[in-house]
């Protein structure tokens, strides 16, 4: 792309923006006129606002749902919003359309930018457009996370209002109903749902259903504590304070810690995803700048090596982008959502031919390998089935092999085209080649191309045959024997390159190796996710302590009930706790002992030991007495633990996020300039010495 086109494009964008601003100010000025204000006041309340934002988003929703590609994202988006906006279809559609519209307003200009700057590089253009698919999901996910965080912050005020309402009514359900009448906030819908659960004919069964759709664990805790208080009554602690209100205070403190943690993580990672993706947008601009300033880099940027480095930067960027998402969004906040989805892996596995192929790679049932893969999925908190995992692995392997073969063909094509299209010179130029030199070089190249086309594919061609053909041609009718000799040598060199540019066996081997790496990619990603989850172990165990602290003073609470609550909120340790709950009736002590053997985290082992003591020896309150007496210490420890967690994630994220940028400037700009420049200078000095 020429500089003039870029300049004209920028001028057009600036001009359009200026026109929009001018029209905006003119409309605002007219709207502020007194007669317009009076007319609008008279019409207010008598005519529906047809062009309101709500109406527009509802119409956009109906438009998006008809477009096949966008429909997939819209349905996936509304599934998350449905959990937050319980039974509010109008709001769900509005938010879904708004988020998708904002995402498209970012993606569409970015797509135009990519097409303009990479239209001459079809391979790069295709890869970048595919990469945008992942960016759309990241943008949409980030916007939904903002709504989720907004709900969490609303819960702080909601619990404060519950406290005041409970003081007035002394009834849990009445206090929740009173506060739920505020229709202006999203948390009111959750409060209405919890109220309906508490007054239902079978509140325990309805509560279990609500646990499956609650948007966060804190609302689960609130609903559970409210149910227990309504069933067994409220109690006073040794200071005369309400146990229910004290539990609300504990949940509030947990939410405050979580909000601070999310805010800090968002601050640390707010630009890392963009930083990791931006370098691929500058591949072509960097290449064009280097070629315009240093023509000796032409062989690198327009040749094989340049394409290989470009591909490596794209792979590094893609991997870095995925890892950044895994580091930031490590929590399992949408487990119930993932269970309801019908992923593309499941659709593919239903195909008879594909199922037979995948089954050949699946580990046999009951084998050590099958248990190993199953445990890997569980440890990574992945809701994927083993069949889905292997469909993903095989799909990536096939795609990687196919893309690698295409890339090798492209490398050979680039090498051949480079010989046919580049000016032929006897020297290297630091800077831009002059128009006169370029014209002369192209004339020589066109003369050579005639003989290259004549002898291409004939691997046994000799120099004498080329010289004989040159002497008989009109291109060299007036040339001396020395000129013919020199050009024949260059033609033979070019011919050797062209005849050697075909798919070789070791390239097929490389494609298979890359395919194997792609096949192992999902497994490595799961292992990386496990490593990241291990950083959250301490935070999760401290959440267990808060749950036990709330339950241990409630009448009729036993060890089995505590385990059921821990299972409900477990993420990292969900599998061993679920196993313990299932085996509890066969023997409480033995089930807890097995749980202690299944986990290796010391703080969780201490909780299990206290539960064992509460089974046979002492009451639950005495078994966990230190949780109440050292509450302040555990809170400070958790804050410090979160600081360390954010620091570790931030350090890992920055290393990964800046890796593509470093590869771009070091591997694609600095190193080629220095290395090729040194080689060109050495060659130039050698030529000069030979002439002296």
Higher pLDDT residue, 48 or 684? Answer: 684
Is 42 a residue whose pLDDT tops 50? no
- Which residues constitute the domain of residue 465? 422-500
What are the Cα distances from residue 242, in Å, to 178, 235, 236, 563, 630?
19, 6, 5, 24, 20
Task: Tell me the average pLDDT across 622-637.
Answer: 73
Percent of the chain residues topping a pLDDT of 90: 2
Judge whether 443 lies within some domain: yes
**Predicted TM-score of the model (pTM):** 0.70
pLDDT at 210: 86
Distance separating alpha carbons of residues 406 and 129, to the nearest angstrom: 17
Residue labelled with tokens 């991997």: 319
Mean local confidence (pLDDT), 410-429: 73
Residue 450 falls within a domain, yes or no? yes
Residue 187, helix vs strand vs coil? helix
Question: How many CA within 13 A on the CB side of residue 156?
Answer: 12
Q: Name the token pair of 233.
A: 């009554």
What is the average pLDDT score of the chain? 78
Rounded CA-CA distance 98/486 in Å is 68
Would you say residue 594 lies in a domain?
no
* Contact of 419 with 452, CB cutoff 8 Å: yes
Q: Is 4 among the domain residues?
A: no
Average pLDDT of span 402-421: 84
Average pLDDT over residues 458-487: 77
Rg (CA), the chain: 34
Is residue 459 included in any domain, yes or no?
Answer: yes
- Considering only residues 642 and 121, tell me which one the structure prediction assigns the higher pLDDT: 642
Q: What is the pLDDT of residues 129-183, one digit of tens each?
A: 767 776 777 778 778 888 888 888 888 888 888 888 888 888 888 888 888 886 6
Q: Decide if 432 is inside a domain.
A: yes
Helices (H) and strands (E) counted in the chain, each on its own, are 33, 0
Tell whether 488 is covered by a domain: yes
Q: In total, how many domains does the chain have? A: 1
d(CA 308, CA 123): 12
pLDDT digits (tens, 9 = 90+) for 672-691: 888 777 776 776 666 666 65
Residue 469 lies in a domain: yes
Is the pLDDT at 392 greater than 80? The verdict is: yes
């Amino acid at each position: 792309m020429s500089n003039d086109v870029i300049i004209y494009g920028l001028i057009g964008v600036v001009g359009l923006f200026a026109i929009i601003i001018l029209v905006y100010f003119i409309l605002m000025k007219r709207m502020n006129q007194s007669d317009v204000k009076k007319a609008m006041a008279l019409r207010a309340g008598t005519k529906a606002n047809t062009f309101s934002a709500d109406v527009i988003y509802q119409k956009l929703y109906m438009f998006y749902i008809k477009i096949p590609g966008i429909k997939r994202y819209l349905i996936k988006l509304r599934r998350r919003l449905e959990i937050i906006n319980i039974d509010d279809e109008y709001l769900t559609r509005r938010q879904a359309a708004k988020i998708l519209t904002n995402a498209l307003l970012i993606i569409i200009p970015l797509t135009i930018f990519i097409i303009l700057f990479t239209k001459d590089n079809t391979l790069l253009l295709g890869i970048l457009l595919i990469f945008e698919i992942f960016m759309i999901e990241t943008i949409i996910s980030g916007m939904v996370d903002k709504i989720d965080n907004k709900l969490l912050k609303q819960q702080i005020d909601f619990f404060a209002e519950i406290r005041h309402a409970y003081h007035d009514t002394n009834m849990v359900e009445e206090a929740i109903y009173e506060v739920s009448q505020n229709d202006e906030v999203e948390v009111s819908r959750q409060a209405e749902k919890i109220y309906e659960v508490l007054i239902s004919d079978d509140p325990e069964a309805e509560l279990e259903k609500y646990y499956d759709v609650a948007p966060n664990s804190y609302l689960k805790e609130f609903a559970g504590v409210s149910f227990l208080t309504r069933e067994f009554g409220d109690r006073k602690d040794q200071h005369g304070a309400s146990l229910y209100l004290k539990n609300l205070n504990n949940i509030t403190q947990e939410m405050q810690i979580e909000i601070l943690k999310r805010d800090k993580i968002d601050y640390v990672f707010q630009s890392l995803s963009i930083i990791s993706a931006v370098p691929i947008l500058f591949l072509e601009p960097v290449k064009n700048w280097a070629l315009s300033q240093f023509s000796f880099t032409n062989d690198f940027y327009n040749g094989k090596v340049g394409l290989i480095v470009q591909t490596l930067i794209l792979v590094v960027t893609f991997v870095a982008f995925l890892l950044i998402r895994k580091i930031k969004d490590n929590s399992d906040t949408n487990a119930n959502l993932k269970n309801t989805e019908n992923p593309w892996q499941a659709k593919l596995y239903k195909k008879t031919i594909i199922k037979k192929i995948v089954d050949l790679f699946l580990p046999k049932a009951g084998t050590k390998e099958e248990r190993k893969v199953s445990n890997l999925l569980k440890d990574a908190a992945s809701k994927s089935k083993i069949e889905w995992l292997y469909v993903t692995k095989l799909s990536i392997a096939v795609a990687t092999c196919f893309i690698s073969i295409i890339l090798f063909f492209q490398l050979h094509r680039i090498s051949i085209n480079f010989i046919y299209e580049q000016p032929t010179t006897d020297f290297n130029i630091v800077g831009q080649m002059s128009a006169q030199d370029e014209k002369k070089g192209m004339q020589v190249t066109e003369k050579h191309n005639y003989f290259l086309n004549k002898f291409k594919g004939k691997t046994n061609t000799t120099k004498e045959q080329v010289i004989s053909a040159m002497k008989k041609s009109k291109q060299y009718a007036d040339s001396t024997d020395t000129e013919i000799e020199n050009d024949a040598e260059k033609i033979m060199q070019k011919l050797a390159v062209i005849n050697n540019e075909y798919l070789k066996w070791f390239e097929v081997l490389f494609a298979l190796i890359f395919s194997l790496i792609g096949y192992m990619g999902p497994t490595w990603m799961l292992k990386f996710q496990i490593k990241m989850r291990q950083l959250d172990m301490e935070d999760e165990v401290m959440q267990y302590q808060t749950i036990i602290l709330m339950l241990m003073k409630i009448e009729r609470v036993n060890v089995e009930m505590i385990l059921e609550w821990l299972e409900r909120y477990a993420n990292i340790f969900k599998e061993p706790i679920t196993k313990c709950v299932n085996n509890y009736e066969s023997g409480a002590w033995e089930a807890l002992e097995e749980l202690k053997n299944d986990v290796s985290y010391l703080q969780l082992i201490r909780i299990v030991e206290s539960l064992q003591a509460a089974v046979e020896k002492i009451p639950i309150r005495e078994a966990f007495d230190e949780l109440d007496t050292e509450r302040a210490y555990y809170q400070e420890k958790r804050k410090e633990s979160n600081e360390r967690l954010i620091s570790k994630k931030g350090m890992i994220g920055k290393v990964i996020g800046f890796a593509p940028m470093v590869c771009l400037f070091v591997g694609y700009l600095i190193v080629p300039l220095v290395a090729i420049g040194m080689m060109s200078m050495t060659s130039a000095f050698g030529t000069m010495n030979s002439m002296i």
